Structure 1
């Protein structure tokens, strides 16, 4: 399965979710490759930090920030169970290529009405991609949620009325994600039984059930 983390809006946590989804599936013994399709190269930077720390590499990270992604990503998918694409913000050609490559698109949004409004462009691109990929699955992912806040609940309720719908699994606003990223780690490395790791595992399980 090729899963693309995409949103026209930057700063919604695409890279964090992409790396952690890959880590969750790798922990289950599945072969995973992350494609860093963002010219900023944050996933590649994380991978290099992990290597410098001497930590084991449970999945590969490759840079592929070009609009031939839809032709090249399926080649990576032949050798693994999952390819996870960490997509770019606001690069139309590259975004369209990632959409055409994907089996499942996850659109991370933060619990804010502004994120809901900003997703309109992303939804239009998904609709466009479905002309060529009618079976393309897509879901919103509520990320960086403060527990049981009114705005998180209202954002989830607003997105429920949309196509695509929102995943039941949510990911909280947790410092563990930022702290581990600084040293090329994942929350599974620091505290595999913690709340952050549990939330990612739940998200990976729900996303995995959407495999074609």
Structure 2
């Protein structure tokens, strides 16, 4: 399965989710390649920090921030059960290429009024991609949720009948994610029984149950 995390808005937690989903699937026994398609290179920075700390490599991280992504990903996917693409904000050419490469698009959003984060441009690019890839599956994922807030519940309810719909699993606003980003670790390595680790595993399991791409075979 090739999963692309995309949103035109920055700061919604794409890289954090991409790294932690990759790590969760490794924990579940899968071979994973993560493609850093963001010119900022945050996932590559995380991987390099991990190497400096002499921690074992969990999955391959490849820098590929160019709009030929859709032509290069199939080769990278041959030796992986899952490919995770950490996409760029505000780079339409790169985003189009990631959309064409993906089996599943995850659109991370933070709980907020609908017009604040449901990028019309992002949804337009998704509709455009479906002209060429009608089988392309997309889901919103609620990230950085404060526990049991009214706005998180209202956001989920707003998206319940939306296209694309929202995943049931949500990920909270957790300090451990910031610690993980700085240290080259994952939340599960810092505390395997933490709420953050459990939320990520629940998200990874729900995505697998969608059975898209090669997971559907």
Question: Residue 109 of structure 1 aligns with which residue?
Answer: 109
Instruction: Determine whether 1:79 maps to 2:105.
Output: no
CA distance in 2, matches of 1:203, 1:115: 25
Query: Is 1:36 matched up with 2:36?
Result: yes
Preserved CA contact (<8 Å) 1:2 1:102: yes
Write the distance in 1 (CA, Å) between the matches of 2:59 and 2:99. 22
C-alpha distance in structure 1 between counterparts of 2:120 and 2:206, whole Å: 24
9-18 or 157-166: bigger deviation = 157-166
Task: Judge which range, 117-126 or 150-159, deviates more.
Answer: 117-126
Question: How many residue pairs end up in the alignment?
Answer: 212
Distance 1:168 1:131 in 2: 27
2:70 match = 70
Distance in 1, Cα, partners of 2:206 & 2:106? 11
Q: Aligned residue for 1:137?
A: 137
Cα distance in structure 1, aligned partners of 2:46 and 2:186:
10
Q: What CA deviation, in whole Å up to 9, does each residue of 1:119-161 have, x standing for no partner? A: 2221111111000000000000000000110111111111223
Distance 1:92 1:177 in 2: 28
Partner secondary structure for residue 153 of structure 1: helix
Query: Which runs of 5 or more structure 2 residues have no equivalent in the other structure?
Result: 213-217
Q: Quote the offset at 1:180 in angstroms.
A: 1.6
- Matching residue of 1:95: 95
54-63 or 116-125, larger mean C-alpha shift: 116-125
Matches within 5 A, 1:45-56: 45-56=45-56
Counterpart contact for 1:8–1:118, Cα < 8 Å = no
Q: Distance in 2 between matches of 1:186 and 1:134?
A: 34
Deviations 1:48-83 (A, max 9, x none): 000001111110100000000000011111110000
1:187 equivalent in structure 2: 187
Does the CA-based 8 Å contact 2:110-2:117 persist in structure 1? no
State the Cα distance separating 1:116 from its structure 2 match. 4.9
> Given the alignment of the two structures, is residue 211 of structure 1 paired with residue 207 of structure 2, yes or no?
no
| Partners of 1:201 and 1:11 in 2: CA distance | 22
Gaps of 5+ in 1: none
Distance 1:107 1:192 in 2: 26
TM-score under structure 2 normalisation?
0.95
Contact preservation (8 Å) 1:88, 1:95: yes
Secondary structure of 2:131's aligned partner = coil
Alpha-carbon distance change, 117 to 28 in structure 1, aligned in 2, over 3 angstroms: closer
